[in-house]
Amino acid sequence: MKISVLGSGYVGTTAAACLAELGHEVTAIDIDEEVVASLNAGEAPIHEPGLDELLTAHAGGNLTATIDYGVVPETDVTFMALATPSKPDGSIETSIIESAATSLGEAIAGKPSTHQVVVKSTVVPGTTENVIAPRIADAAGEDFEISMNPEFLREGSAVMDFQEPDKIVLGAETDRARETMRAVYEPLVARVATNVVETGIREAEMIKYANNAVLAAKISTMNEIGNICKEYGVDAYEVADAVGLDSRIGRAFLDSGVGWGGSCFPKDVTALITAAREVGYDPSLLDAVVEVNEKQPRRMLELLDEHTDVGDERVAVLGLAFKPGTDDVRESRAIPIIEGLRERGASVVGYDPVATGNMRKRFPDIEYAGSAGEALDGAAAAMVVTEWDEFAALDDEFDRMADPVVVDGRRIVSRRDGLVYEGLTW
């Protein structure tokens, strides 16, 4: 099939590359000329394992990129993978996808055949039908089909998640729309045993939010239990291992620590809370999920305070990305850690294998090291925030610290002898 993908962020770029790998002829459309040039050169504009290889394989062949919406009528299906960031009140900002919907409608106006539009952006129930579709219709009339296909891609493993999904959710209201989406994913379903869920558009929109809310709640629940475990001198990870053996629970997302961040969990849980209140429901459990997550970095700083005064001292922050495998620093737990250290008068030096450039945009006036050892050199303390594998292998590097106080927010550090070592929840 011929497919166009609007938006070349994490979701759009991964989807475009993986759809090309499935044999479809894909055109990525983005307003950023640098991103378009990068894609056409076979280079990923983001750090995502496996993505460069796919782009190198398909750029100029099954995958091309452009800023021109004029190519849309030449395709059978358009995926909308535009950002829906949070507004100050927690609701989603739809202006980007609304503008794209108008441009899309103008592009397909007069097309002799019915065009299929698939919303892949994360939007609250009712948005596809009440916000996006009317803007397409204003320019194109009613001769198009619209459906919803939420993504469940984890940054750091997005390519694998697309190619080996737990589920594919197809939200549509007509047989024609469902048949088209089945055809898009048929090469994948034929190769990989997965669950295909066919549902209505609003149900598909809600499944995405419910999915992330449950996962966020699971993490916050274990963090709360981990905090209690620490007070009793109990190993929270041994507890998690046993709890995870229950088939109703499972071991995934039970590692207690400094909390969740990134582009999905914070935005989606907050959006669901806001949307619930807009329809008159008080989501008190989700409020608590967020509250627990927000207090974890503060607890990490409080543990540091118990052992040393970092005023005018050098403190290393190891890990700046919100999770390993990505350079994304959105809602990274390193941000409140850095802010808290600066409030205490510390001289902060940060290190991350890939995310330094993005964090530098947020904190341009702190020091950044080229290695973990360099960051630890002369430091009075170290805060381990992201579970990069290389931090587990640190050994003699800790001997470069002035006072070996280490607060580990992820239980990743292997060497603990000779250190004043504090685990966040164990």
Query: Do 29 and 158 share a domain, yes or no?
Result: yes
Decide if 217 is inside a domain: no
User: Residue 92: which pLDDT band, with cuts at 50, 70 and 90?
Assistant: very high
CATH of the domain at 308: 3.40.50.720
Which of 152, 147, 150 shows the shortest CA–CA distance to 201?
147
pLDDT digits (tens, 9 = 90+) for 211-255: 999 999 999 999 999 999 999 999 999 999 999 999 999 999 999
Active centre residues (catalytic): 264
Question: In terms of residue numbers, what domain contains 298?
Answer: 235-426
Residue 208 labelled as part of a binding site:
yes
Residue type (1 letter), 363 = F
Query: Do 6 and 53 share a domain, yes or no?
Result: yes
Query: Do 256 and 374 share a domain, yes or no?
Result: yes
CB contact at 8 A, 297 and 340: yes
Q: How many domains does the chain have?
A: 2
User: H helices of 59-174, where?
Assistant: 95-108, 127, 133-140, 158-163
Average pLDDT over residues 159-182: 98
Decide if 216 is inside a domain: no
Query: Do 249 and 334 share a domain, yes or no?
Result: yes
Beta bridge partners of 4: 27, 78
Query: Do 65 and 129 share a domain, yes or no?
Result: yes
pLDDT digits (tens, 9 = 90+) for 264-294: 999 999 999 999 999 999 999 999 999 999 9
Query: Do 197 and 247 share a domain, yes or no?
Result: no
Query: Do 164 and 19 share a domain, yes or no?
Result: yes
CB contact at 8 A, 324 and 318: no
Query: Do 38 and 185 share a domain, yes or no?
Result: yes
* Length of the chain counted residue by residue: 426
Decide if 6 is inside a domain: yes
Decide if 63 is inside a domain: yes
Strands (E), 75-229: 77-80, 115-119, 144-148, 167-171, 195-199
CB contact at 8 A, 419 and 400: no
Q: Is 166 exposed, middle or buried, given 0-12, 13-18 or 19+ CB atoms closer than 10 A?
A: exposed
Residue 128 labelled as part of a binding site:
no
Query: Do 184 and 324 share a domain, yes or no?
Result: no
Decide if 222 is inside a domain: no
Identify the pLDDT of residue 372: 98
Identify the pLDDT of residue 403: 84
Decide if 230 is inside a domain: no
Residue 79 labelled as part of a binding site:
no
pLDDT digits (tens, 9 = 90+) for 117-141: 999 999 999 999 999 999 999 999 9
pLDDT digits (tens, 9 = 90+) for 42-58: 999 999 999 999 999 99
Residue 323 labelled as part of a binding site:
yes
Query: Do 185 and 317 share a domain, yes or no?
Result: no
Residue 363 labelled as part of a binding site:
no
